[in-house]
Structure 1
Amino acid sequence: MKLELKTATGEKRVDVLNKIAFTFGYSKFDSARYYGEIAYSEATQLNYLDGKVKSYVNIGYSYFDEGRIDTAMILMKRSISESVENNNPEGEMDGYLALGIVYDSKSYLDSAAWAYKKNIAMGKSLNKIQKSTSAIGNLGNVYRQQGLFEMAISQYLEAAEINLELGKAGKQANFLANVGSVYLEDHNFEKAEEYSAKAYELVKDTDYTRTKWYARTGQCLALGNLDRYDEALAGFNEILKEAQALGDPYQEPTTYHNLGDLFNDNGEHEKALGSALAALEGFEAVDSKYGILKSHTLLCTIYGKVGKVDQAFSHCEVASEMAQEYNHEGSLKEIYKYQAEAFELVGNYKEAYAARLLYEEVKDEQLGETQDRHIAALTTKFDTKEKEMKIQVQEEQLAAQQKLIDQQRIIQVLILLVLLAVVTMAVIVWRNAKKQKVVNRQLNEQKETIEKTSKERETLLKEIHHRVKNNLQVISSLLSMQSRQMDEGEAKSAVREGQSRIKSMSLIHQKLYSQDELSRINMKDYISELSQYLFKSYNTGESIKEVLETEEIQLDVDTAVPLGLIINELIANALKYAFDDKKDGQLKVQFAEDGNAYKLMVSDNGKGLPPKWEQRKNMGMRLVQILVDQLEGELQIDNSKGTSFMITFEKHAA
């Protein structure tokens, strides 16, 4: 570009100077500002408005990349004001985009969203929406930080659609990969894999190396969470091979870290250890603080799982210090969890309990911050919509007034009497409008009061469910600690059964405070999570197959709690007694609507109930019968092929 600068003149020379300033902005800040200031001076002499604005933005970006955010913000605002003064709408769009990026970096999310929306609105009004693709995507990033995942996905898909129309496959793939990343964060792993795969398909045969890595990595992370281990492993190995061939200093250790995570989750701890150590070495070579932190965290849990507690503590301590220094609360939460597990391995339950309390404290703080951001974002959205509606009403009123004036002028020409009648009617209309305005104001005030009260009640109810869940979790933890100090026998078994019953109730309250609907539970999700917890608790391995056939049914809390306890008792009873050493066991849970009733069936292909079992019902079976009666339901037991429990209860009970 410097060779091009020697021959360029006029506006072309200003454009080249701005390109050089932009290029240097990432590393050589003084050089970026030097060329940006020359561009500004020459653009001013030529009265080249677009060149002046771009020079402001480029100088601002140099300060931004250097970490001098406040100075960058002043320059971005100056570029906007100068664009407005000189009627340069495209320069104004560039200024709003740059200002939004600066606000975003300062975590002024509402201000960032406002700047991006200004850019997008101008792009639409100028019929240059393609110039707003970055703002559309960045607005998605803001919504994502605020926890508004659906709105973030909508922005990313809009940006991808625009780039599809422009034929820019690389940028389209990047936004689709963002969609996959949001679904991954939201634990919707099927959708995450789908969109990451779409993104990768667009660029797998192109030179978009970073986008390929981003999309393929997202796909492999989703595959790992979907228990498609072989596919995830093959994908990560492809990424690692490409990273090594390209000599990418960040991609290679990141992929080693992902492999370590995958191996660790699959129980291949030696392989996990090798990959994690390779990742740590790579991140230390490029001095990536976040990568080093994540590697120490991973090594902490790997060493803990293989019983090397001293090494686990060592890596946990380093990770904890780094997380506190760099304020990475998400990592700190994981570290406290792994520390608690390591202390439990060596029998230091006091320290384990203390670490577990720290884990819960950080977790609660993060949940509170997420909810605060979500509420603030929704409030901003509501306020913006309300302002738009007011503007629309005002415009309609102005249009109506202008029409009335035109009609009055025509009437004045035709006849004075008609004019008098119109004036009289106008006075009547005005009086009615004034009265209506008072009524509307009163209605709005009542509406605001109702909405405020509703939000306060909703927040209080969520807090109640949250605290109930935490209290149940504390009780469960105390039972768990107590059971470890007990010999195997009926007492220890009873304590474990108590834990699983508490878990079934705790899970309901956890569902309620983590969703928008506070009065009803999605039983499909609830049964799936409860079943997974019980299978894991009884350590069935692969000898017993879990089959869930449940419909999307919403139940209220009064019905979900006893039904959850019933399911807990029947699954736990089957896992304990039905199979002995059977290798091909199957436990099936079915829950569906049947006309005006619900039907729950828990069945197994085990050895069946013992002879005369009716005469010696244990506590679990008595509890099931009590809970069925509470639901006003009917219990049927079939002991012909394994054991089958069919419970039917009317919908009015739910």
Structure 2
Amino acid sequence: MLYNIRSGVPAAILIIFSLHGFGQTSNTKPDSIQQILSFAPDSVKIQTLIDLAWETYPTQIDAALSYAKTAVKYAQKTDSISLSRALCMLAVVEDISGQADLALEHYLQAVTIQEKYRLTYDLSSTYSNIGALYFELEKYAKALEYFDQALKQEIILNNPEGMIGSYINQGVIHKNLDDYPNAIRKYKKALDIQEQLRITTNSGTIYNNLGSLYLQQNKLDSAYYCLHQSLHFEQLQGDKRSLTLPYLNLTDYFLTKHDYDSALFYAKESYQMALVSGNMDNIIRSLEYLARVKELNGRPAEALQYYRRYQKLKDSTLNLAVQERMIALEAQYESKKKAEEIYHLQVANNLKELALKKSKSEKWFLVMVMVLSIISLGLLFYLFQIKNKKNAQLNLQSIQLQKALEEKEVLLKEIHHRVKNNLQIVSSLLALQSRHISDPETLKAFREGRNRVKSMALLHQSLYQGDHLTGVRLNEYIPSLIEKLFSSYGCDDVSLEMNVQDLELDIETTLPIGLIVNELVSNALKHAFPDGSGKLSIELKRVERPIVLKVSDNGKGISFAADENESFGLSLVRSLAKKLEATLTFNNHGGTSVELVMKNVKVI
């Protein structure tokens, strides 16, 4: 649960930095804008266009994009520093309009210039915004890399406020990587700086993030203290809208404590504050909590009312996103249509001007030229109309087909996104349930089940984030899966050798392969290295026609004899291998080695 520049799901808050030189107030009127662009020096034109883009981008995306692109065009003819700031402004607008790839490209172009000229202040903001962009794409390792770079710049600048924001961002990333000790350490560093400066600007945010973190660790006393501190500092700031997130986390706290009366109080408070702020995500989340609390309080009728309102708002938010995509596609079509009309008018005008110029050549040929021109123009116009009509029909069919394909692609991505989100919810529910389990074996089973669910969720995430919706690249999916398993089991002293060939398989084949890898790697990390150190090797490649998966370690060696006491994980591996019509071979000499040979797998 995170909060960034475009999503408000509560728990941990990410700090987004404004870019240097942006946001200056501009009272420039349209006629004065034309004067500036016509007569002012290029440096004034660039700054004016950047200011206009900054003022308009939250509500007028098309206008902001136009201003930012024009600023880049002028800056390319002047100095590199102006170009870096124009590129950053363009990236901000592209990011907010959903063009993450273009935004990243322009941010990185700006960073190249800023690093060359050592623009430390600009670099700190740009690094932070690149980190936030990677965070939105759920590429947490890359996000952490850029937040680290931003912190280094803030230290060079000796900017304590900037250091506080960078530490908070690093804490959020560590939390999402399940690295709780480092997340707590980063938050406490931010608090230490605040106390040294005797300021409380971000204290509410930091304590809320810490409270959310302690809730996930089931450290309820620490969570309660931090969340009450968050409420205290947010109330000191005087902005009631910022109380929504602590209220939601306190609702979660009292649900965990089974104190449903207190949970109901904070759920109602969070809903009221969400209404004041107008944040739709927080309103939806508050309604979900109210429905849960009412149900647990034995008020099913009221719970049903809240749940219906929650579902209605959630569905309307999704429908709005689809409608916005359709409107954008229609706008592109209309823009192209107008450009074609202007082009045809210009062609017709050019023909008329040519005819008039020729008509002045000689008096004797005036009538002849006029007659020939009229006949020629009539014939050309007739042929032009026929051709235009055919082209218009072909263009319309092409546009309709393209629009249908794009809509289907959007819907298919949304389906994979929803499946991933639903699996993530299942994973979170398993994590919540495991807080109340004391039996080690049961807790172990929950953890293994959660890892299996995560492997399936990661597969669907790869599908909706990738370019191909029907296939998964194994050299991207398998390393991501292994990284999460190492993070889950905390095997820092186990070295990893991985060689995964660039193969693309369909989801029906990739899913069992992912589950098999999950089981074999989990089994090795749990049992192969009693002293905590060793070497694990994963190899997946195509040998002529068959595809071969090999997972081996240099651990103590494990028996794989099939009997009635065989573990569920090993039974699952055998079952999935049978489904793939694959040959499964075990070897426990000098460690453990498992080889899976798949002869009937089709590569896309």
Q: TM-score range by the shorter chain?
A: 0.5 to 0.7
Aligned in 2, Cα 1:361/1:579: closer, same or farther, shift over 3 Å? farther
Deviations 1:552-574 (A, max 9, x none): 54321231233345446656777
Partners of 1:394 and 1:336 in 2: CA distance: 55
Computing the radius of gyration over CA atoms, which structure comes out larger, 1 or 2? Answer: 1
Q: Given the alignment of the two structures, is residue 204 of structure 1 paired with residue 204 of structure 2, yes or no?
A: no
Equivalent in the alignment of 2:9: none
Secondary structure (helix, strand or coil) at the match of 2:469 reads coil
**Structure 2 alignment gaps of length 5 or more:** 1-22, 363-368
Secondary structure (helix, strand or coil) at the match of 2:597 reads strand
Residue pair 2:204, 2:230 contacting (<8 A) in 1 also: yes
Residue pair 1:605, 1:641 contacting (<8 A) in 2 also: yes
Equivalent in the alignment of 1:84: 34
Aligned in 2, Cα 1:87/1:329: closer, same or farther, shift over 3 Å? closer
Supply the AA of the counterpart residue of 1:149.
Answer: A
Equivalent in the alignment of 1:645: 594
Aligned in 2, Cα 1:610/1:313: closer, same or farther, shift over 3 Å? farther
Q: CA deviation at 1:321?
A: 3.2
Alignment of structure 1 residues 32-71 onto 2, 5 Å? 57-58=26-27
Name the count of aligned residue pairs: 570
Equivalent in the alignment of 1:415: none
Q: Given the alignment of the two structures, is residue 631 of structure 1 paired with residue 584 of structure 2, yes or no?
A: no
Q: CA deviation at 1:120?
A: 1.6
Equivalent in the alignment of 1:296: 247
Which segment drifts farther, 161-170 or 289-298?
161-170
Equivalent in the alignment of 1:191: 142
Residue pair 1:603, 1:642 contacting (<8 A) in 2 also: yes
Partners of 1:102 and 1:588 in 2: CA distance: 53
Q: CA deviation at 1:635?
A: 1.6
Equivalent in the alignment of 1:239: 190
Match of 1:113 among 56, 65, 68: 65
Partners of 2:317 and 2:147 in 1: CA distance: 27
Equivalent in the alignment of 1:153: 104
Partners of 1:162 and 1:575 in 2: CA distance: 45
Supply the AA of the counterpart residue of 1:330.
Answer: D
Match of 1:562 among 501, 506, 512: 512
Which segment drifts farther, 148-157 or 223-232?
223-232
Supply the AA of the counterpart residue of 1:180.
Answer: G
Residue pair 2:417, 2:464 contacting (<8 A) in 1 also: yes
Partners of 1:168 and 1:303 in 2: CA distance: 48
Partners of 1:499 and 1:145 in 2: CA distance: 33
Calculate the aligned-residue CA RMSD, in Å.
6.1
Equivalent in the alignment of 2:234: 283
Q: CA deviation at 1:517?
A: 2.4
Q: CA deviation at 1:519?
A: 0.4
Partners of 1:193 and 1:483 in 2: CA distance: 28
Q: CA deviation at 1:285?
A: 0.4
Q: CA deviation at 1:159?
A: 4.8
Q: CA deviation at 1:619?
A: 8.0
Secondary structure (helix, strand or coil) at the match of 2:57 reads helix
Partners of 1:476 and 1:220 in 2: CA distance: 22
Residue pair 1:147, 1:373 contacting (<8 A) in 2 also: no
Q: CA deviation at 1:177?
A: 1.9
Q: Given the alignment of the two structures, is residue 452 of structure 1 paired with residue 403 of structure 2, yes or no?
A: yes
Aligned in 2, Cα 1:588/1:209: closer, same or farther, shift over 3 Å? same
Alignment of structure 1 residues 244-643 onto 2, 5 Å? 244-261=195-212, 270-301=221-252, 314-332=265-283, 440-462=391-413, 465=416, 508-509=459-460, 511-513=462-464, 515-523=466-474, 526-527=477-478, 549=498, 551=500, 553-567=503-517, 590-603=539-552, 613=562, 624-625=573-574, 627-640=576-589, 643=592
Q: CA deviation at 1:149?
A: 2.0
Residue pair 2:505, 2:602 contacting (<8 A) in 1 also: no
Q: CA deviation at 1:479?
A: 11
Deviations 1:419-478 (A, max 9, x none): 9xxx99999999998887666545433421331231233244345556766888999999
Secondary structure (helix, strand or coil) at the match of 2:547 reads strand
Identity within the alignment, %: 26
Partners of 1:476 and 1:101 in 2: CA distance: 40
Higher relative contact order (CA 8 A, sep 6+): 2
Match of 1:104 among 45, 57, 69: 57
Equivalent in the alignment of 2:14: none
Q: CA deviation at 1:626?
A: 5.3
Residue pair 1:123, 1:131 contacting (<8 A) in 2 also: no
* Bigger fraction of residues in helix: 1
Residue pair 2:76, 2:83 contacting (<8 A) in 1 also: no
Q: CA deviation at 1:171?
A: 3.0
Equivalent in the alignment of 1:36: none
Partners of 1:367 and 1:503 in 2: CA distance: 24
Residue pair 2:559, 2:588 contacting (<8 A) in 1 also: no
Q: CA deviation at 1:150?
A: 2.3
Residue pair 1:585, 1:606 contacting (<8 A) in 2 also: yes
Residue pair 1:160, 1:173 contacting (<8 A) in 2 also: no
Equivalent in the alignment of 1:144: 95
Secondary structure (helix, strand or coil) at the match of 2:157 reads coil
Q: CA deviation at 1:231?
A: 5.7
Equivalent in the alignment of 1:177: 128
Which segment drifts farther, 605-614 or 250-259?
605-614
Supply the AA of the counterpart residue of 1:178.
Answer: N
Secondary structure (helix, strand or coil) at the match of 2:125 reads helix
Q: CA deviation at 1:179?
A: 1.5
Residue pair 2:174, 2:182 contacting (<8 A) in 1 also: yes
Residue pair 1:94, 1:119 contacting (<8 A) in 2 also: no
TM-score (norm 1): 0.63
Equivalent in the alignment of 2:365: none
Secondary structure (helix, strand or coil) at the match of 1:205 reads helix
Secondary structure (helix, strand or coil) at the match of 1:555 reads strand
Residue pair 1:141, 1:152 contacting (<8 A) in 2 also: yes
Deviations 1:230-279 (A, max 9, x none): 66555444433333343444134334444445555566654454443333
Residue pair 1:632, 1:653 contacting (<8 A) in 2 also: no
Q: CA deviation at 1:137?
A: 3.6
Partners of 2:554 and 2:597 in 1: CA distance: 21
Partners of 1:580 and 1:340 in 2: CA distance: 46
Secondary structure (helix, strand or coil) at the match of 1:184 reads helix
Q: CA deviation at 1:284?
A: 0.8
**Structure 1 alignment gaps of length 5 or more:** 1-24, 27-53, 59-75, 413-418
Aligned in 2, Cα 1:102/1:296: closer, same or farther, shift over 3 Å? same
Partners of 2:214 and 2:449 in 1: CA distance: 33
TM-score (norm 2): 0.68
